[in-house]
């Protein structure tokens, strides 16, 4: 299928060997952590319409019964996973719920417009959906990868009713200038399917801002080493670490965690990985390692070097 993004299914941790809770089989070397079949996670973002009755109207409310429960307001601390990403020993991404951290506050699309400047990265979030990233290019518009095409939309339309926030500070790479970020985004409007070099909206938006080829499909050689670590915070004193061969693979797993939600992630880890009680000096980490997988064929439009402004 060339460079076309295909379907991703994440196997439950229940299907993974758990002989040793630290993630290492003493006789067989490192154990496997996760497996993938490729997909485009942004395909599943469309909000679902409310259920309808046979006459096209809403479903009956049950007569004199209690009214249906109202949806709870979106709270990042309830739905999102606190995590950090490391390349070797360098922290390159961090989502923290530490007191005083305002980076995760969300706003309505209309209020978010007042906080955006050209070159900013914007993230739209909603419970049980993949987060959707976009590049704000000015004049109330964003450029984003949506349904296998890079498109230019009004920010309010791209949000699809979800709340959003500016996320310039999640990745710790040095950003390009705002004008270069905007040029990178606008230069790819109209690219679709086999022309795409990014697997999801986050990778595209981050590449526009930081110009790192690691965000592209096949941007890194998988040579057996696993230099990337996704550290998931389980509690104030405990975390669990997954290891990856590429940033592309790690982002896919991180986004999967965002989509299923904090509760489901913690339940998976508690039920199937059984991290050992932390011992003094062990760093409070349990660790697993995803298996290597064949990198997809590079796009004909993919650049070999860092991004340049066109």
> Is the confidence at residue 284, as pLDDT, over 70?
no
Cβ-count burial 176-199 (b if 16+ within 10 Å, e if not):
bebebbbbbbbbbeebeeebbbbb
Instruction: Measure the CA–CA gap between 296 and 289, rounded to whole angstroms.
Output: 20
Task: Walk me through the domains of the chain, giving residue ranges and CATH numbers.
Answer: 76-273 (3.90.1720.10)
Q: Residue 154: helix, strand or coil by DSSP?
A: strand
Task: Quickly count: other Cβ atoms within 10 Å of residue 173's Cβ.
Answer: 14
Q: What are phi and psi of 253, to 5 degrees?
A: -70, -40
181-188 mean pLDDT: 98
Instruction: Measure the CA–CA gap between 168 and 150, rounded to whole angstroms.
Output: 20
Half-sphere exposure of 109 (CA within 13 A, CB side): 18
Q: Residue 193: helix, strand or coil by DSSP?
A: helix
Pairing of strands 239-244, 24-25: unpaired
Confidence (pTM): 0.71
How many percent of the chain have pLDDT more than 90?
Answer: 54
Query: Over the chain, what is the mean pLDDT?
Result: 76
Confidence of residue 204 (pLDDT cuts 50, 70, 90): very high
In this predicted structure, what is the pLDDT of residue 84?
Answer: 96
Asked which of 3-7, 52-56, 288-292 is least confident by mean pLDDT, the reply is 3-7
Pairing of strands 90-95, 121-125: unpaired
Q: Which residue has the higher pLDDT, 257 or 302?
A: 257
């Amino acid at each position: 299928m060339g460079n076309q993004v295909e379907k991703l299914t994440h196997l439950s941790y229940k299907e993974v060997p758990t002989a040793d809770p630290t993630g290492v089989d003493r006789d067989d070397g490192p154990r496997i952590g996760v497996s993938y079949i490729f997909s485009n996670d942004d395909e599943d973002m469309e909000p679902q319409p409310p259920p309808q009755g046979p006459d096209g109207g809403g479903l009956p409310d049950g007569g004199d019964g209690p009214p249906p429960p109202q949806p709870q307001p979106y709270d990042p601390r309830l739905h999102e996973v606190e995590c950090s990403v490391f390349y070797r020993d360098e922290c390159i991404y961090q989502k923290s719920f530490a007191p005083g951290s305002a980076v995760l506050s969300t706003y309505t699309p209309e209020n978010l417009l007042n906080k955006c400047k050209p070159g900013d990265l914007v993230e739209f979030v909603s419970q049980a959906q993949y987060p959707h990233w976009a590049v704000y290019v000015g004049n109330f518009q964003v450029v984003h990868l949506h349904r296998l095409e890079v498109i230019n939309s009004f920010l309010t339309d791209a949000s699809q009713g979800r709340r959003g926030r500016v996320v310039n500070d999640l990745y710790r790479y040095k950003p390009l200038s705002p004008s270069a970020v905007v040029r990178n985004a606008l230069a790819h409007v109209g690219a679709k399917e086999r022309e795409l070099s990014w697997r999801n909206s986050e990778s595209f938006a981050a590449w526009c801002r930081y110009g790192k080829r690691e965000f592209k499909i096949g941007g890194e050689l998988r040579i057996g080493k696993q230099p990337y670590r996704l550290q998931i915070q389980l509690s104030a004193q405990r975390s669990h670490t997954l290891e990856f061969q590429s940033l592309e693979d790690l982002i896919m797993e991180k986004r999967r965690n965002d989509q299923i939600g904090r509760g489901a992630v913690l339940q998976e880890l508690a039920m199937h990985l059984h991290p050992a009680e932390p011992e003094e000096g062990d760093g409070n980490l349990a660790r697993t390692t995803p298996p290597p997988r064949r990198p997809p064929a590079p796009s004909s439009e993919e650049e070999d070097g860092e991004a340049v402004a066109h």
